[in-house]
Structure 1
């Protein structure tokens, strides 16, 4: 297994202009609805000597939810779902990063949604590092993880005539992260 290069050591911040923190779920049991959160801050702290001591933190503003439908977005902000006025942020704080293979990691930690905290492990692929035209050292990461929204108190639903439900309990979280190095380790 290849080591993490020493020049990767330090803190990296998510670049919101080039990062997507998204999700998808089944709607009416026949199609997918995709969305994203447009307002977030995240950091990655890399320890090349001990990847397990590396860390990831992410804070998402719930009000920034965007499914490309204003009425649906407004409903998602209400007490039926995220209750944005009372729980304005979703947070993730890692407690362990495991390198499982070259370029492949499992980032484990606590996700808090609507005041409910659960442990989640997210498989993440390291896409590489390049220097961008502005001189920034930029790293790419991608990953996804399926969760059950009921585990976080997101229980609203309605039954369809067929006996199915309008919104699936299974939500796929999607991460496409571009991070810029901001300080050395």
Structure 2
């Protein structure tokens, strides 16, 4: 019997990132449009399947010029490749509510294995009677693993943009309709 299907609630879910800028500063950003599904039994919430889809053009850092550059072919190439996807079906428990989620991230038509350190937060009912599963997860990516090479050298010998990008996900999911 297949696991119950849950739909990611885009209004209450977020994909956030932090990248180094000019060696010591950090740029914080987010993707404003995320969707997808989970296949999970609420009685065993750290086991199941995940399928997340992020619209590349929804990247937002608070700086329109930088956001346009991040959407360009030098970074996400959002016009030609409109989505980033993460799919996973293997998880391994870590403590009472933690788990490692092994999956594949596809970014710029490059697919790489990615390990998310995840945490089941709660199964709860909202004030309107809707059951919700709540999760958080994090990982770190290397830009060059996905063909994102653009950078500029600084006078101090460093680089304008760090190689590592830290990613955090906050996910709320509700039972799929139909």
- TM-score between both structures, scaled by the size of structure 2: 0.92
Structure 1 unmatched runs, 5+: 1-8
Give the distance between the partners of 1:35 and 1:49, measured in 2 at CA: 34
Alignment of 1:96-107 (within 5 A): 96-107=90-101
1:10 counterpart = 2:4? yes
1:39 aligns to what?
Answer: 33
Alpha-carbon offset, residue 132 of structure 1: 0.2
Which residue among 119, 127, 132 is the counterpart of 1:138?
132
Match of 2:52 in 1: 58
Give the number of aligned pairs. 176
Partner of 2:169: 175
Per-residue CA shift, 1:74-105, capped at 9, x if unaligned? 00011111111211110111131222321111
Shift of 1:43: 1.1
- Report the RMSD for the aligned CA atoms in angstroms: 1.9
Matches within 5 A, 1:83-162: 83-162=77-156
Runs of 4+ off more than 6 Å:
48-53
Q: Give 1:76's aligned residue.
A: 70
TM-score scaled to structure 1, two decimals?
0.89
Per-residue deviation, 1:52? 8.1
Q: Could you tell me how far 1:39 is from its partner in structure 2?
A: 1.2
Q: Which runs of 5+ in 2 are unaligned?
A: none
Which residue in 1 is equivalent to 2:19?
A: 25
1:133 is paired with a residue whose SS is coil
